[in-house]
Chain A
């Protein structure tokens, strides 16, 4: 496992921030292993994105502008990734621990008979071997895993776990040939946007989340959004809020939603059930606003302010806005 391959997640126009974090980490691992760091970027816009990736610490960038990638579900991505992995292998493959990344990881691990480990927050090289550190069992234990019996190791990496280290390297660009002979199974007929902007939720430096205490959909717009905007962050939610239909499921933080690890997490009207905590407990700083001083979120928070969110949040937003204006 000498080389390290990064799977690049992007929206066509933009590369996800986590990719840059993975690139920096891939290069660090590759150096320790005595191998090369590769990136694989496929789908519409990839030629352009590949050029932008040359500003990150990578040795080789494999790309294909193939439009089929965007029309079919996962199959083309997995085929391309397999082709690159086999060409450079044995190798370790880093994939973001996002909705798409988790899908890709399972598929490519099956395809390559690889080892698979998930939601990794720290990587090490010990005796030429890659070791992966990840919180497991709802965050109650920290496990260190290594690969055995396999030429490939697939690792999903939590966004915000590593710092990006942009610098121009002039990595070699390699155009990929379309993998041939395979039929693609699932076709995407249409893509419906229910909420925009939150593609960055997992990567945001600040997340302001609302729970059942928000009482309805409007306070998410009128209370949380302005606070998140003032802090330069994104809005999230508990499952109770998503289940109530106040926000789309794409905003849900937790075990069955998104896992976030921001600099600052503000939990507003959220009790802090274990399933919610799994999604946010590695945030650097956690602030909770709750009218009940005995809620479980208090065990995870750095600061718990006991009071009515409907009074506290607007006042806080004003303070932050004023501070920003004074700064500008």
Chain B
């Protein structure tokens, strides 16, 4: 089975995020990139599945990102993925969620897959819309918020999917696109052997024309535009009350709620 994991390269969580005032886009230059944390869970799920299948299944990492962030992909390879493919082209810059999904779909059709695994959200944009739109552009079923893949193979998948009140057991055909939650298990660390091995693994690059992308992409194709950016309203500093005991602490909260007409 050919398992492809889509990953997004995002500014490191610790980095100060800056918006370019001219383009109103997140400035990605000069900022350390990292794998979107949620995608590490998707990689973990893929590796677990490959180990369980114990056949000739492979795990390919796929990202749409500038070529300069190639090295970040080595981390995914060091975790144990077999190879990686990047969709990189200056024309893609400024693509929004839906255009990104279209471009990714074209590249993924080229690469081929039985199962696509994605993280449920990205750390920066927080849209959560890409996997759904991607499934549509690929014309494959989507299965979201999976916490456990029970079975996958022989053209079918069975998984537990989180819901508002618990979970559902869902079955369907492969190929399909599956998003996973953090409940699939903590992503493994790369071993020293993995890190050394990753240096020799191939990272292929596709351009817009390689991927047969034949609609406008980047800012030209984007279907949303940012018209304004502002800082959030600052909250007033908290009132801090040191509670001598339970009663006085409770009374302080109660009085505060009274003041605000909340009780």
Which residues of A lie under 8 Å from residue B240 when comparing CB positions?
293, 298, 303-306
Which residues of A lie under 8 Å from residue B252 when comparing CB positions?
303, 305
Set A111, A149, A193, A314: member contacting B166, Cβ < 8 A: A193
Q: Which chain B residues in 213-244 approach chain A with CB under 8 Å? A: 216, 221-232, 235-236, 238-244
A98 to B240 Cα, complex, angstroms: 33
Q: Which chain B residues in 139-172 approach chain A with CB under 8 Å? A: 140-145, 147, 158, 161-172
- Chain B residue with the shortest CB-CB distance to A314: B246
Q: Does B181 contact A (CB under 8 A)?
A: yes
Which residues of A lie under 8 Å from residue B239 when comparing CB positions?
302-304
Which residues of A lie under 8 Å from residue B182 when comparing CB positions?
239, 256
Q: Does B80 contact A (CB under 8 A)?
A: no
Chain B proximity mask over A188-204: 1 for CB below 8 Å, otherwise 0: 11111111101101000
Q: Does A64 contact B (CB under 8 A)?
A: no
Q: Which chain A residues in 289-310 approach chain B with CB under 8 Å? A: 289, 293, 298-308, 310
A189 touches B238 (CB 8 A): no
Which residues of A lie under 8 Å from residue B166 when comparing CB positions?
191-195, 248, 250
A319 to B224 Cα, complex, angstroms: 50
B96 touches A193 (CB 8 A): no
- Chain B residue with the shortest CB-CB distance to A185: B141
B171 touches A186 (CB 8 A): yes
A141 touches B232 (CB 8 A): yes
Q: Does B129 contact A (CB under 8 A)?
A: yes
Which residues of A lie under 8 Å from residue B253 when comparing CB positions?
266, 287, 289, 303, 305, 312, 316
* CB of B178 to closest CB in A, whole Å: 10
A312 to B250 Cα, complex, angstroms: 5
How many interface residues does chain A have, given as a range?
Answer: 35 or more
Q: Which chain A residues in 20-76 approach chain B with CB under 8 Å? A: 73-75
Interface-forming stretch among B118-126, B195-203, B204-212?
Answer: B118-126
Set A106, A137, A300: member contacting B17, Cβ < 8 A: A137
Interface-forming stretch among B47-55, B65-73, B130-138?
Answer: B130-138
* CB of A153 to closest CB in B, whole Å: 8
Q: Does B1 contact A (CB under 8 A)?
A: no
Q: Does A217 contact B (CB under 8 A)?
A: no
What's the dominant secondary structure at chain A's contact region? Answer: mixed
Which residues of B lie under 8 Å from residue A293 when comparing CB positions?
240, 242
Assuming A106-B128, A111-B136, A149-B223, is B170 touching A141 (CB within 8 A)?
no
Q: Does A163 contact B (CB under 8 A)?
A: no
A173 to B157 Cα, complex, angstroms: 39
* Residue among B136, B225, B252 with the highest chain A CB neighbour number at 10 A: B136
A285 touches B171 (CB 8 A): no
A118 to B131 Cα, complex, angstroms: 14
Q: Which chain A residues in 231-289 approach chain B with CB under 8 Å? A: 231, 239, 248-250, 255-256, 263-264, 266, 278, 285, 287-289
Q: Does B262 contact A (CB under 8 A)?
A: yes
Q: Does B113 contact A (CB under 8 A)?
A: no
- Chain B residue with the shortest CB-CB distance to A129: B227
- Chain B residue with the shortest CB-CB distance to A324: B263
A14 to B216 Cα, complex, angstroms: 43
Q: Does A119 contact B (CB under 8 A)?
A: yes
A256 to B181 Cα, complex, angstroms: 8
Which residues of A lie under 8 Å from residue B172 when comparing CB positions?
73, 185-187
A189 touches B170 (CB 8 A): yes
Q: Does A8 contact B (CB under 8 A)?
A: no
Which residues of B lie under 8 Å from residue A315 when comparing CB positions?
246-247, 249-251
* CB of A111 to closest CB in B, whole Å: 5
Which residues of B lie under 8 Å from residue A189 when comparing CB positions?
158, 168-171
Chain B proximity mask over A71-100: 1 for CB below 8 Å, otherwise 0: 001110010000000000000000000111
Q: Which chain A residues in 81-132 approach chain B with CB under 8 Å? A: 98-100, 102-111, 113-119, 131
Set B24, B131, B227: member contacting A106, Cβ < 8 A: B131
- Chain B residue with the shortest CB-CB distance to A99: B164
B235 touches A311 (CB 8 A): no
Chain B proximity mask over A131-149: 1 for CB below 8 Å, otherwise 0: 1000111111111111111
Which residues of A lie under 8 Å from residue B242 when comparing CB positions?
293, 306-307
A316 touches B250 (CB 8 A): yes
Q: Does A320 contact B (CB under 8 A)?
A: yes
5 A-B pairs with least C-beta separation: A106-B132, A185-B141, A311-B246, A110-B136, A110-B133
A-side interface residues toward B, CB under 8 Å? 73-75, 78, 98-100, 102-111, 113-119, 131, 135-150, 153-154, 156, 185-196, 198-199, 201, 206, 231, 239, 248-250, 255-256, 263-264, 266, 278, 285, 287-289, 293, 298-308, 310-316, 318-320, 323-324
B-side interface residues toward A, CB under 8 Å? 17, 19, 24, 26, 38, 96-98, 101-102, 120-121, 123-137, 140-145, 147, 158, 161-173, 176, 181-183, 216, 221-232, 235-236, 238-247, 249-254, 256-257, 260, 262-263
Other A-B pairs, 8, CB within 8 Å; known A110-B133, A263-B262, A319-B251 = A109-B132, A110-B137, A141-B229, A143-B229, A185-B141, A287-B253, A288-B238, A302-B238
